[in-house]
């Protein structure tokens, strides 16, 4: 493997790490921010959902921008812009300002997400084996790192605005380093790409929609401890502020382990088998959260769910990008944009259910999401025959 390919792999890795760390660093401060803004469950859920809506909308432009500017340039530019938007969230004293910060950060992230995955798949083709799940593992590691930083900041009572300012400067500088390591030039076309625009054939469109909903269901589970984990721990149990981020760190930590090992498992057993087994575990984990409530079982259940969904989103993205007959980046853009539907609908759905049934039973939406994802795994395609 060339030095350029190895360096590019580390560039994409750093980009994924920063993407997870920057966003998650403010999540353990959500209970504090919510109290400052004086928001109820439903109001909080609705405000949290406006960000993913912006990410979904702007993310649809990713394929065009990737073809025009290159995946590396787009990923790092949007990454840096999103990182500095942390300061808007950290200084919000009104719900409208906080919502604006979420919209801006999600819009930048929607473009960055598709671009960094596209660049990751470009690097993966140089390695001729699965490494995309490993990139997502570094995203999870970044999310755990950022979550721990935010939890420590909450415990030490560091001002939210000061935390966001310091981290935005450090993370922004690292984003520039990531671009230096990544591949230069525009992304090359692959043999099966279609160069002329046209309508997507109905069978391909149906498969892309199925992959998008599959990823969205997993995203709803993945996002739940970010949007509601701290609120759940605060309302259900008497725990120290440090544990507000416990469910989030547990899910991301277990997901990180699942993703670091996921590429080898996929190469051994196939993408569809791996995702199917994981989603079964995720359904069990979220069932534990709902039916056996306690601080320990909540953290355990989210950890099992995190391990279970580890390969689902990168697997769906890879499958969408592999579909022949589409212009470069089109399949990946559609699946990446659609997975944000889970992040969009999850917070207000749980918020509405919490208003009616209480926060505990609102979490019942999450094992149901795992079951929906299980039903859509055939869209991942057939696994290659495994040599024994």
What band does 193 get if pLDDT is binned at 50, 70 and 90? low
| pLDDT for res 385 | 46
Asked if the structure places residue 385 within a domain, the reply is: no
Asked if the structure places residue 345 within a domain, the reply is: yes
| pLDDT for res 242 | 65
Q: What is the mean pLDDT of residues 131-156?
A: 87
Asked if the structure places residue 257 within a domain, the reply is: yes
Asked if the structure places residue 386 within a domain, the reply is: no
More confidently predicted of 167 and 321 = 167
Q: Taking a C-beta distance cutoff of 8 angstroms, is the pair 187, 328 a contact? A: yes
Q: Which of 2-11, 182-191, 199-208 has the lowest mean pLDDT?
A: 182-191
Residue 100 has pLDDT above 70, yes or no: yes
Domain of residue 169: give its range. Answer: 3-380
Q: Which of 21-30, 107-116, 228-237, 296-305 has the lowest mean pLDDT?
A: 228-237
Asked if the structure places residue 387 within a domain, the reply is: no
Asked if the structure places residue 81 within a domain, the reply is: yes
CATH classification of the domain holding 176? 1.20.1250.20
More confidently predicted of 181 and 262 = 181
**Number of domains the chain contains:** 1
Asked if the structure places residue 218 within a domain, the reply is: yes
Asked if the structure places residue 192 within a domain, the reply is: yes
């Amino acid at each position: 493997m060339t030095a350029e390919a190895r360096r590019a792999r580390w560039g994409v890795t750093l980009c994924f790490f920063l993407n997870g760390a920057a966003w998650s660093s403010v999540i353990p401060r959500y209970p504090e921010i919510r109290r400052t803004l004086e928001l109820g469950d439903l109001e909080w859920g609705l405000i949290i959902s406006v960000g993913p809506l912006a990410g979904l909308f702007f993310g649809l432009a990713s394929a065009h921008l990737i073809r025009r500017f290159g995946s590396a340039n787009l990923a790092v530019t949007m990454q840096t812009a999103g990182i500095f938007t942390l300061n808007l969230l950290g200084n919000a004293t009104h719900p409208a300002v906080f919502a604006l910060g979420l919209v801006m950060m999600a819009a930048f992230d929607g473009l960055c997400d598709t671009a960094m995955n596209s660049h990751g798949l470009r690097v993966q083709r140089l390695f001729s084996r699965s490494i995309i799940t490993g990139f997502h593992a570094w995203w999870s590691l970044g999310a755990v790192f950022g979550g721990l930083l935010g939890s420590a900041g909450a415990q030490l009572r560091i001002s939210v605005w000061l935390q966001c300012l310091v981290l935005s400067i450090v993370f922004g500088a690292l984003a520039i380093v990531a671009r230096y390591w990544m591949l230069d030039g525009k992304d090359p076309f692959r043999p099966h790409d279609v160069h002329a625009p046209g309508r997507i054939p109905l069978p391909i469109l149906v498969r892309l929609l199925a992959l998008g909903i599959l990823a969205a269901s997993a995203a709803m589970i993945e996002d739940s401890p970010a949007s509601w984990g701290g609120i759940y721990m605060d309302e259900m149990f008497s725990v120290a502020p440090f544990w507000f981020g416990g469910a989030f760190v547990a899910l991301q930590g277990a997901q990180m382990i699942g993703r670091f090992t996921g590429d080898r498992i996929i190469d051994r057993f196939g993408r569809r088998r791996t995702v199917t087994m994981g989603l079964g575990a995720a359904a069990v984990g979220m069932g534990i959260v709902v039916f056996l409530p306690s601080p320990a079982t909540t953290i355990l259940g989210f950890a099992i769910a995190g391990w279970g969904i580890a390969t689902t989103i990168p697997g769906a993205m890879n499958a969408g990008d592999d579909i022949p007959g589409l212009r470069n980046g089109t399949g990946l853009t559609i699946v990446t944009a659609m997975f944000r539907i889970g992040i969009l609908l999850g917070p207000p759905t749980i918020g509405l259910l919490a208003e009616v049934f209480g926060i505990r039973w609102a979490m019942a939406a999450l094992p149901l999401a795992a079951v929906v994802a299980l039903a859509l795994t055939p869209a991942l395609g057939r696994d290659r025959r495994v040599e024994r």
